Structure 1
Amino acid sequence: MHFSELALDKRLLTTVEHLGFTQATEIQQKAIPAAVAGKDLLASSRTGSGKTLAYLLPALQRVIKSRALSKKDPRVLILAPTRELAKQVYGQLRLVVSNTPYKSELILGGEDFNLQSKALARDPHFVVATPGRLADHLEHGHLYLKGLELLILDEADRMLDLGFDKQLKAISKAADHRKRQTLLFSATLDHAQVNNFAADMLDSPLRIRIDNEAQVHADINHRFIFSDHLDHKEAQLKALFERQDFTQLIVFTATRGDTDRLATKIAEWGYTTLALSGDLNQGQRNGIMQDFAAGKAQILITTDVASRGLDIARVSHVINFDLPKHSEEYVHRVGRTGRAGAKGDALSLVGPKDWLNFKALEGFLSQTLAFEAIPDLQAKFKGFKIKKEKAAPKAKAAPKAKAMAKVKTGPKKVQKKILKEVGDAPMMVRKRPMKPDLDTSKDLDD
């Protein structure tokens, strides 16, 4: 479907065409008309599906076509779970509003609070923010949301997982009026907290599910390689660099220490590298992300801090040096490649310490994952069986119960003797058919 079929303002269509977009993605085809019609949305789609534009275009359409409820309050508020994702959304927003008179501001945690209060005092029409910092500004009276027309929550599941439930409720309460429209995007709609949260915040929302959260990108080639130990992994990593024709590449590690150590080692192999982890301050993180996006380094080594919100078209490969503990993070990690219709490669090194995470990933994706080998660097490790927990030993029967057991199974003469000694009156016991064991297994969602 072409964007011109979505009943958007001509100025928006010109902007979209100027940005190089012609065909709307599936989430855009379904979300944009519903949002333009004023409906609340509860939507789910995989990473890289174009959901940011799916809510930015209706937001700008509303601002263009309707009269503001307030001259001072923001008209559109977009919340994102991490600073990286918020920056990415803000970057796209700036492009969309570039030829309009509408002002926008980015409010992030870890940055100058006073400068942000001054920016909010300039009465921006659009605000992109992380929930914790925006709640702080609300508490200090630096902005009011009584005139807010559109509240957008991007990756709401992630915000709730990070513990922003209280802040999100405070923000929603500050903008609690009947004319507010709410668009909630989540990686999954099978998240109990998201559904409970949506029930409180959204008014008869239209539910849109494009892809389930366990569905991996069709344009990404997924490959798994057995590894024996840390040194073996490093040798395999070097071989992959030498044998893969890549433009830019991201390596995901489990810990911050591994990030710095690998960055040093890879630099010794002759590659330009950058290391990104959560212990860096926001200015350092911003600089690293900007340098990598500008192509100043071939390889980025990072923890899961970059698994969401990093949108760089030149990333042709993702390598999981360590598999993530949470299976859904795998989908977000590998989604850093194969962006905007491009093909991508995702390679994962699986050693003994990764095996439980690998088996969990198979269950999460509901498919059997195959392995391949690197010539001359084949692993001896081929996985191992996961031991099932032994059933708890049965509690010893009480003396009286033991006696009754003998009553049921012993010879008739002994039965009478025991019954007389314990003083129990003889009774008839009807044999009941054994109940079949209940099947407590559950199908994996998506």
Structure 2
Amino acid sequence: MHFSELMLDRRLLATVEHLGFTQATEIQQKAIPTAIAGKDLLASSRTGSGKTLAFLLPAMQRLMKHKALSKRDPRVLILAPTRELAKQVYGQLRLVVANTSYKSELILGGEDFNQQSKALARDPHFVVATPGRLADHLDHGHLHLHGLEMLILDEADRMLDLGFAEQLQAIHKAADHRKRQTLMFSATLDHAQVNEFGAELLQSPTRIRIDAEAKIHDDIHHRFLFSDHLEHKEAQLKALLEKQDFTQLILFTATRSDTDRLAQLVSEWGYSALALSGELSQSGRNQIMQEFAAGKAPILITTDVASRGLDIARVSHVINFDLPKHAEEYVHRVGRTGRAGAKGDAFSLVGPKDWASFKQLESFLDQPLAFEALPGMEAKFKGFTLRQRAAKIGASSKASQPQEKAHKRGPKKVKKKFAFKLTEVGDAPMRMKKKPKPDGEAE
């Protein structure tokens, strides 16, 4: 479907055409008409499906077609769970509002609070923010939301998982009026807290589900490799870097310490790599993200801090050095490649410690996942059967079992021995007691 069929203002159509977009994605086809009609929306779609434009274009249309409720309050507030995702949304917003009179501001945690208060005093029409920092500005009276016309929550499930429910409630109450329209986007509509929260924030919402949340991205080739141990994984990683023709690559690890260790190891192999983790300062994280986005290094090594919101078209490969604990996070990790119709490759190294996560992923995706092997680097490990898994669990607790069982049974009971025997006398057996033996004499 062409954007011209979505009832967009001709000025917006010119902007979309200037940005190089012609055909609307499925989420855009369904969400834009609903949002333009003024209805509340609860929608889910996979990463890289074009949902940012699905809410930015209706927001722009509302400002163009309706008179402002307030001259000072923001007209549109967009909340994102992480600084990286908020910056990505803000970047697209800047392109959409270019050559218009509409002002926008980006409000992030970890940045100068006073400068942000001055920016909010300039009465921006759009505010893109992380929920924690925006709630702080509300507490200080640096902005008011009585005239807010549209509240947009991007990746609401992630915000709730990160513990922002209290801040979201405060923002909702500050802008709780009948003329407010709310759009809520989530990676899944089966998230219990999202549905509970949506019931409070949304008024008779239209529900849109694009693709199953667990569906594997068709533009990404998923490959799973068995690994025996850490050294085997490192050897496989080196082989992949040597054999794969990648433009940019993101390597996901389980722990923060592994990001620095693997970055050093990869550098020793002759590759330029950047390490990113949540323990870095905000300015440090920003610098690394900017350098990777600018192509100053072909490899980014990170934890799940970069699994959402990072939109770089040149990322051709993703490697999971460790599988994530939560199956949903796998979909977001590999979604960093195969963006905007491009093809991507995702490799996952599965060792004994990853096996439980792999089986959860297989169950989550509701399909069997096949394994490949690098020539000459085949693994001895081939997964655990149910019997092997049970034996492994049993072996780990074997040492403590005898004491636990003894504790449950209590003191051992001595079986009673009766001092009589049957002796045949006449027609009926008679019980004749044995003569007790003296103390100390063995039987």
TM over 0.5: yes
Residue type matched to 2:85 in 1? Answer: L
| Residue pairs, 1:235-254, within 5 angstroms | 235-254=235-254
Query: Match of 1:167, SS?
Result: helix
Residue type at the aligned position of 1:328: E
- Could you tell me which residue of structure 2 aligns to residue 82 of structure 1? 82
Deviations 1:246-289 (A, max 9, x none): 11100000011100000011011111111110011111111111
**Which residues in structure 2 correspond to 1:90-169 (within 5 Å)?**
90-169=90-169
Partner-residue secondary structure (3-state), 2:173: helix
Trace 1:53-72 onto structure 2 (pairs within 5 A): 53-72=53-72
Q: Amino acid of the residue matched to residue 245 of structure 2?
A: D
1:8-64 superposed Cα distances (whole Å, 9 cap, x missing partner): 111111111111110000000000000000000000000000000000000000011
Instruction: Output the aligned Cα RMSD.
Output: 1.4
- TM-score (normalised: structure 2): 0.87
Structure 1 spans left out of the alignment, 5+ residues: 397-446
Task: State how many pairs are aligned.
Answer: 394
1:212 is matched with 212
Structure ID, larger Rg: 2
Q: Partners in 2 of 1:385 and 1:162 — Cα distance? A: 35
Alignment of 1:346-425 (within 5 A): 346-386=346-386, 387=389
Task: Give distance in 2, aligned partners of 1:99 and 1:325.
Answer: 45
The alpha-carbon deviation at position 78 of structure 1 amounts to: 0.2
User: Residue 21 of structure 1 corresponds to which residue in structure 2?
Assistant: 21
What is the Cα deviation at residue 385 of structure 1? 2.0
1:381 and 1:164 map into 2 onto residues whose CA distance is 41
List aligned pairs for 1:215-294, cutoff 5 A: 215-294=215-294
> Are residue 180 (structure 1) and residue 180 (structure 2) matched?
yes
Q: Percent identity?
A: 81
Which residue matches 1:339? 339
Match of 2:137, SS state, is helix
> Which amino acid in the other structure matches residue 53 of structure 2?
L
1:403-441 alpha-carbon deviations (Å, 9 max, x no partner): xxxxxxxxxxxxxxxxxxxxxxxxxxxxxxxxxxxxxxx
Structure 2: distance between partners of 1:60 and 1:325: 39
Aligned partner letter, 1:125: H
CA displacement 1:206-259 (0-9 Å, x = unmatched): 000001211111100000000111111011000001111111100000011100
Tell me the distance in 2 between the aligned counterparts of 1:153 and 1:216. 24
| CA offsets 1:112-133 (integer angstroms, 9 cap, x no match) | 1111101000000000000011
CA distance in structure 1 between the partners assigned to 2:331 and 2:191 by the alignment: 16
Q: Which amino acid aligns with 1:102?
A: Y
Q: What is the distance in 2 between the residues matched to 1:88 and 1:248?
A: 18
Q: Aligned equivalents of 2:275 and 2:51: distance in 1? A: 28
CA offsets 1:271-308 (integer angstroms, 9 cap, x no match)? 11111100111111111111111111110000000000
Deviations 1:308-351 (A, max 9, x none): 00000000000000000010000000000000000000000001
Which blocks of at least 5 consecutive residues in structure 2 are unaligned?
Answer: 395-404, 410-443
DSSP 3-state at the match of 1:217: coil
Cα deviation code 1:100-149 (max 9, x no counterpart):
11000000111111111010000000000000110010011000000000
Q: Which range moves more in the overlay, 144-153 or 209-218?
A: 209-218
SS of the residue aligned with 1:110? coil
TM-superposition CA deviations, 1:73-109 (whole Å, max 9, x none): 0000000001110010000000110111100000011
Is the partner of 1:286 in helix, strand or coil? helix
TM-score by length of 1: 0.87
Q: Equivalent residue for 1:401?
A: none
Q: Secondary structure at the match of 1:245?
A: coil
Matched position secondary structure for 1:20:
coil
**Corresponding residue for 1:298?**
298
